[in-house]
Structure 1
């Protein structure tokens, strides 16, 4: 008897999150998927909750227990084949072991750093991670660290773009003043990023910076004039990349990062990608043909100067970058296929072949 693959997914459910895009990938493959969203449990903490977490390193006990009990009850009622957890800061080891006792394959994907960025982990996750059957990471440097920590089956996969969100969008006349600019950056503030972008601001380029923590940069920075003061997501982000002559792709300084989701999202939106020079970036795109790269803030400013003046070359590179990510099928659906292959789960139109 044919059996549709059933997936119980745990993670953020807001549109534009890589967790939701991964969950959508399962759906597009024909799987039966049920999602327990973490948004309602663990976002928008009250001040008392924040103080409690700072001391106890846990959310309020009632909320934490309710969350894990919901997972347990859903395992019993839904009887999934896979428990797929994205980030899972508050999913306990006991829940993972309970799922495994039911014959469920447990898979964990962390979109951030588990070992080098302690903001994106928890004592609960540190303990639970060893219980998962399979661990998936998009960070090359994390693979060996997971194995040294004791995780036996670790799969590296690249980030992706979501074609339902990341695609070229023609700006309206009303949108052009909002999104049209020489240079754009979307992401969290880190001081090296602020220093580099301030050099661009000082060189008198039109600049738009979207994201969080940009109110923390030095007050003396000219860059302050160009910070939009909010994060941006989904189609609005696509419009940012469409409207900018150059979209900068910084990597974090918290660890040795090689590429990010922006690596694929910017070209998929038809934007010109100017990213940090790494081995992975140069393996994905031909330098000066499908994207371009920089290794210092001086080189970044030089490349900005060159490409803002050379529209024809910039447009050709952006088009070839777009063609490349389409040809690569660098989508979340494709990444889910990779995970299933690594897990030795064979599917055809969502139906298990074994």
Structure 2
């Protein structure tokens, strides 16, 4: 049986928890929840974050606990998710223990909102980096002596799946267009335009109530269960990538179709690679006017909307896009590299 340690967060839609649920007869997964690295009094945490370059308050202590845990269990592979709180010092110690270090890099470390010197110093210590965006592949290859790979986001079938709603719940959650994600400033004009065009909206996530154009549609933070049901109750699920992250796709790319909801998504090469041409399984848009036009067409053509949703659901659920598939892809790549290195020696 393969044993892997995952360093990430548990709960919500965090990928660490999804990897933990990927365990099976042939795979043992032990999650070390990174949440403790960020705990502490609010003001102290804020000072550490702002004054020390987005440094988690307990970065060193958490890293030490990971090293000691791995010293006891001797895992072959450690998979860190995103900007995991493991410093260069702690990664060096893990390397000396013989642990293969992998980062499934779900954020762009050069995004000004995430850029942290401690993480950029740690990044070259990973043997493998799997990035969810092609836009930073070359930068990563220059920064990381080890192997750099593109590996898309996925979805967790225990969180996102088709669900039948009771009529009263379907009516309460109904919308023309649903979106789940934070109110980034560059996202607001899309929903202001949809509202002005007469679409009913359901906006889940933080800060939508801060903008006059979206305040009335803000439905607050939501659990994965509520998001799943809201997707199912909507006619269209809108998929916007995070531009500051240089995304070509995002988590919702897979989660919206997994619920059987018709998706209208930003037109990117990665979206087309996953779902094919425009109008086959997903409708694409390049700007706000095209988004409005595509949304109107989808609302008016229920049969077409259902057919597209059904094909997108099939692509996502049968195409090897579960997070368990992603974890196994990571481990297969690490194993292949290890065997090749052994052959060369």
Are the counterparts in 2 of residues 89 and 122 from structure 1 also a CA contact under 8 Å?
Answer: no
Tell me by how many angstroms 1:39 deviates.
1.9
User: Which residue of structure 2 lines up, in the alignment, with residue 332 of structure 1?
Assistant: 323
Aligned counterpart, 2:342: none
Asked whether 1:309 is paired with 2:303, we answer no
Of 326, 334, 337, the residue aligned with 1:343 is: 334
Q: Could you tell me which of 31, 36, 55 is aligned with 2:32?
A: 36
SS in 2 for 1:119: coil
Call closer, same or farther: CA 1:257–1:127 in 2, change over 3 Å. Answer: same
Mapped to 1, the partners of 2:48 and 2:19 lie a distance apart of: 32
Asked if 2 retains the 8 angstrom alpha-carbon contact of 1:29 and 1:333, the reply is no
Partner of 1:112: 107
Partner of 1:7: 4
| Higher RCO (CA-CA < 8 Å; seq separation 6+) | 1
4+ residue stretches of structure 1 with deviation over 6 A? none
The 5 Å alignment of 1:165-204 reads 165-204=159-198
Partner SS, residue 335 of structure 2: coil
1:73 is matched with which residue: 68, 75, 86? Answer: 68
Query: Normalising by structure 1, what TM-score?
Result: 0.89
CA distance in 1, matches of 2:138, 2:48: 34
> Deviation at 1:132?
0.8
Q: Within the alignment, does 1:283 sit opposite 2:273 as a pair? A: yes
Match of 1:100 in 2: 95
Match of 1:205 in 2: 199
* Residues 155 and 321 in structure 2, CA contact (< 8 A), matched pair in contact too: yes
- Higher mean alpha-carbon deviation, 230-239 vs 292-301, is at 230-239
Flag the 1:152–1:289 CA change in 2: closer, same or farther, 3 A: same
Q: Structure 1 residues 201, 43: closer, same or farther in 2, change over 3 A?
A: farther
Is 1:258 aligned to residue 236 of structure 2?
Answer: no
Match of 1:91 in 2: 86
TM-score by length of 2: 0.91
Q: Deviations over 1:89-113 (max 9, x none)?
A: 4211122111111211111112111
In the TM superposition, residue 41 of structure 1 has moved relative to its aligned partner by: 3.1
Q: Within 5 Å, give how 1:44-55 maps onto structure 2.
A: 46-55=42-51
Match of 2:341 in 1: none
Paired position in structure 2 for 1:133: 127
Counterpart pick for 1:321 among 312, 315, 318? 312
1:52-79 Cα distance to aligned partner (Å, 9 max, x none): 331223343xx33321221121011111
Equivalent residue runs for 1:228-247 within 5 Å: 228=219, 230-247=220-237
Q: Secondary structure at the match of 1:192?
A: coil
| CA distance in structure 2 between the partners assigned to 1:8 and 1:37 by the alignment | 10
Distance 1:322 1:90 in 2: 35
Shift of 1:345: 5.0
Per the TM alignment, residue 28 of structure 1 is displaced from its structure 2 partner at its CA by 3.1
Structure 2: how far apart are the matches of 1:89 and 1:20?
14
Alignment length (residue pairs): 336
Residues 1:17 and 2:14 are matched in the alignment: yes
CA distance in 2, matches of 1:258, 1:105: 28
Secondary structure, in 3 states, of the residue corresponding to 2:109?
Answer: coil
With over 3 angstroms needed to count, the CA separation of the structure-2 counterparts of 1:337 and 1:275, relative to structure 1, is: same
What secondary structure does 1:114 align onto? coil
Distance 2:192 2:40 in 1: 31
Mapped contact 2:34–2:85 kept (Cα < 8 A): no
Contact 1:21 1:332 in 2 (8 A): yes
